[in-house]
Amino acid sequence: MALDDLPVPVFPKPVTLRDVAAQAGVSVATASKALNDQGRMTAETRERIRETARSLGFRPNGLAQSLLRRRSFTVGLLTNDTYGRFSLPLMSGISDALVDAGVSVFLCNVEEDQRLGQLHVEAMLDKRVDGIIATGKRIDRHLPVDLANLRVPVIYAFTQPDPDAVAFVSDDGDGARLAIEHFCRLGRKRIAHVSGPASFAVVHERAQAYRAVLTENGLPVIEPLLGSWSEAWGHEAVARLFDGRGKKPDAVFCGNDQIARGVIDALRERGLGVPNDVGVIGFDNWEIVAEATRPPLTSVDMNLAALGREAGLTLLSLVGGKSATPGIRKLPCRLVVRQSCGRLPDG
Amino acid sequence: MALDDLPVPVFPKPVTLRDVAAQAGVSVATASKALNDQGRMTAETRERIRETARSLGFRPNGLAQSLLRRRSFTVGLLTNDTYGRFSLPLMSGISDALVDAGVSVFLCNVEEDQRLGQLHVEAMLDKRVDGIIATGKRIDRHLPVDLANLRVPVIYAFTQPDPDAVAFVSDDGDGARLAIEHFCRLGRKRIAHVSGPASFAVVHERAQAYRAVLTENGLPVIEPLLGSWSEAWGHEAVARLFDGRGKKPDAVFCGNDQIARGVIDALRERGLGVPNDVGVIGFDNWEIVAEATRPPLTSVDMNLAALGREAGLTLLSLVGGKSATPGIRKLPCRLVVRQSCGRLPDG
DNA sequence: ATGAAAGCGCTAACAT
DNA sequence: ATGTTAGCGCTTTCAT
C-alpha cells in the first residue's frame, strides 16, 4: 500500500460567463444581459442561456462585478471587544441589517493595538469595503484607530465616536430612569444605587438619572456606592448599606447583573428576602446571570441588537449616497421584568 | 439659517496606478513593477515612482489584484453560535492565525436556518473566498449547511464535520482525565461526576474517561449524574449525592462551570467546606464564572483559541495547495488550577 | 531600462 | 435581437 498517497483535493475551475456564452452559442454580452434581465432578446434565447448557466453551475465572479460597479457589497466591522458580551448582540444586529441588503461583514478585532488597528483599516480599504462600522465595549473609550477622513462612510456603535461622526449609543440615563421608576411604581421608598468604578462615564450618567427620578418623586437620595463591576463588590456594598444604623434600603438598583447577583446573595445571607424585603434591579440583562439568580433578576436591557441594526441601516443609507445627521444618537433601553422586584401593590 | 444644509460628505476618488504613472511620467507597467519590486529599472526611476505613489496616497485596488491573482486573501467564517462563549475564543484564534498571512475574515452567522446558511455560503463563494472555516457550539451537531464538494477548501473547528473532512475538536476525554487525575493526586477517594444532558456526545465521552481513570486508580466509580447545564442542576445534584445514606463524595467533577457553581453554593449551604471537605472542578474555564465562585474554581480549559489557530493555519496550508490528512483531530485540554481543590498533601 | 499589449471576468454603450 | 467594443485597475509577457 502506497504511503504519501493522500488524495490531494483538486478544485474544479470555476465556470465563467464566457463558458456559458460559448456553450449557449451566443456572445458574452448577450449572456450577461440574459442573466441580468437586461437588454432585449427572444424569451427563448434568454431561457436557453439561463438554462445553460444553471446546468453549468455558473456563478458570477463577485470580484469582477465589484471592480466594475465600484462597490464590493462588503463592510468592515471593527471591534476591540473580542471576548465581551456587548459586541456579540451588537454584531448580530449589524449583520442582520446588512444581510438583507446582500452585504457581507468583514470582522476585525483590533484589541488595543494601534498598529494592528491601522493595518486592519488599510486592509479593509484596499479590499474596497463600502463602509466601516466601529464598535467597542464602552462608550467612553475610542478605538485605537483613526477613522477620520476615510474614503468611505463610517458609523460608530457603542464606542466613542470622532467629533461630527454619526454614532449610536445606548441611553444609560434612560435605562436608570426605567429602573428607578419601576421601583417607585412598586411603592419602594428607600432606593439605593450600587454601581461600578467612577472611571466609567455611564456610572455618572446613571447616577444622575437615579438622583433626578428620586427627587421628582420626593424620595430620599442615598449617595451612590461606586466600586467595581464584580459580585464581590455587590456583597460588600450590601454590608455597607445594611450594617450602619439608620433606615435600611428597601430597593437596590445595581450597575450590572454581576453586582446584582452579589447583592442578592448577600441579602439572603443576612436573612433578607428578595423581593419581599428588598427589591433588586440589575443592568445589562445578561441572561446567563439574570436567570441564574434566585429569584431571577429584573434587569435593564440596552437593546444592543437593535442598536446594531440601526447602525447597519444607517451605514447602508450613507453608502447609498444619502446623508445622515452627524452626532451621537442615544437609543432607549428596556426593562426586562423577572421576579426580583415583586408585584405592583394592586397587581 | 438654512435648513436642509447637511454637509453631504463627498468622498475623494481613489488614486489609481494610472494616476501614479502619469504623475511620474512613466507607463502603468513600469509603475506596477516599481511598486512590486519586479522587473529592471534604474534605482532612481524606481524611487521616483515610489515617492509619487506615496505622495499621492496610492493604495492598490485589492479587487483588481484579486481578480488577477485568483486569490482574494479572504476566508469565510461560518458559525451558529452568535451569543455563545465558545465561538468567540475560537474566532479570535482563527483571525489571529490568518491576520499574519494578510488574510481577512468574513463573519457569517447562520443560526439554525438552512436557507440562510446556503445563502451565505454562496455569497462567500461568489466573493471568491480562498477557503471556509465552519465553527459551532457543540461538536456533535452539524451546521445547517452543505459544505461538501465546494470549490474551495473547508475546515471544521468545534462543530461536527462531514466525513473525510479536516476537523479540529477539543479532546473532552482528555479534559475529564486531567480533572480526575488531579483529584487523585490530591488524595481524593470518592469522586463524583455531575454533568449535562445525555443528548450531548461530550457528556458520554467525559463520563467514560471519568470511569477509566477511577478504575485505573482503584477508586470507586459513582454513577455519573446527568441533568442540565445549569446552576440549578448543580444544586439539585448535591442534594442527591449527599442526602442518601452511605459514604459521601469528597470531590465533584462538574460538566461545566455553571453546574460547578451550583454545586459549590449548595455545599456551602450544607455547611460543607470547599476545598477542605469537598474538592470541585468545573469545565469550560469561563473566567467570569470561575473567578466569581467562592473559592475561585479550578476548571478544564478547552484551549479554544489554540484550536482556532490550528484550524486557521491548516486552512492556510490547504489554500497554499498542500494537502492535509482528513479526519478529526482532537486537541488536548488544560487544567486551570484555582482554589477549589486544595493543595497537594506535600505541597 | 522602459513600454505596448493582452487579459483576469464582467457590464454597458454603441453598433448592426 | 444580438454582437462588437471599450473599459473597471491591475499584472505580466514580450517587444523595443
Q: How close is the nearest chain B Cα to the Cα of A76, in Å?
A: 9
Neighbours of A57 (CB within 10 A): 10
Say if strands B225-226 and B251-254 run parallel, antiparallel, or are unpaired: unpaired
Among B99, B109, B231, select the one facing A292 at the smallest CB separation. Answer: B231
Phi-psi region of B68 (alpha: psi -120 to 50; beta: other; left: phi over 0): alpha
Query: Hey, which residues 43-82 in chain A have their CB within 8 Å of chain B?
Result: 59-64, 66-67, 72, 74, 77, 82
Q: What whole-number percentage of chain B has pLDDT above 90?
A: 84
Q: What is the mean pLDDT of each run of 10 residues along chain A (347 residues)?
A: 55 92 93 91 92 95 95 94 84 92 91 90 95 94 94 96 95 98 97 98 98 98 97 97 92 98 96 96 95 95 97 96 93 98 67
**Can you give the pLDDT at residue B279?**
98
Dist CA A337 CA A347 (whole Å): 14
Dist CA A332 CA A338 (whole Å): 19
Residue of B nearest to A100 (CA): B116
Residue A113 grid coordinates = 493595538
Among A14, A99, A120, select the one facing B151 at the smallest CB separation. Answer: A14
Name which of B101, B123, B215 is nearest A65 in CA terms.
Answer: B123
| Distances from the Cα of A45 to the Cα of A26, A32, A55, A150, B100, angstroms | 9, 12, 15, 45, 49
Dist CA A279 CA A293 (whole Å): 13
Among A88, A258, A326, select the one facing B292 at the smallest CB separation. Answer: A258
Q: How close is the nearest chain B Cα to the Cα of A105, in Å?
A: 6
> C1' nearest to CA of B63: which nucleotide?
D9
Q: What are phi and psi of A32, to 5 degrees?
A: -55, -50
**Can you give the pLDDT at residue B3?**
45
Dist CA B249 CA B277 (whole Å): 9
Residue type for position A237: A
Dist CA A203 CA A194 (whole Å): 10
Is A340 in contact with A295 (CB distance < 8 Å)?
yes
Dist CA A172 CA A168 (whole Å): 12
Q: Mind giving me the DSSP string for B268-314?
A: HHTT--TTTT-EEEEES--HHHHTTSSSPPEEEE--HHHHHHHHHHH
Residue whose cell numbers read 442526602: B243
Name which of A230, A288, A104 is nearest B84 in CA terms.
Answer: A288
Dist CA A305 CA A94 (whole Å): 7
Neighbours of B115 (CB within 10 A): 10
Distance A98 CA to D6 C1' (A): 34
Element (H, E) at A168: strand A166-170
**Can you give the pLDDT at residue A272?**
96
Which of A127, A257, A293 best probes binding to B when mutated, by most B CB atoms within 10 angstroms?
A: A127
Distance B27 CA to C4 C1' (A): 9
Neighbours of A1 (CB within 10 A): 3
Residues from chain B contacting residue A92 (CB–CB below 8 Å)? 82-83, 109
Q: What is the mean pLDDT of each run of 10 residues along chain B (347 residues)?
A: 55 92 93 92 92 95 95 94 84 92 91 90 95 94 93 96 95 98 97 98 98 98 97 97 92 98 96 96 95 95 97 96 93 98 67
**Can you give the pLDDT at residue B1?**
47
pLDDT tens by residue, B125-146: 999 999 999 999 999 999 999 9
Residues from chain A contacting residue B60 (CB–CB below 8 Å)? 126
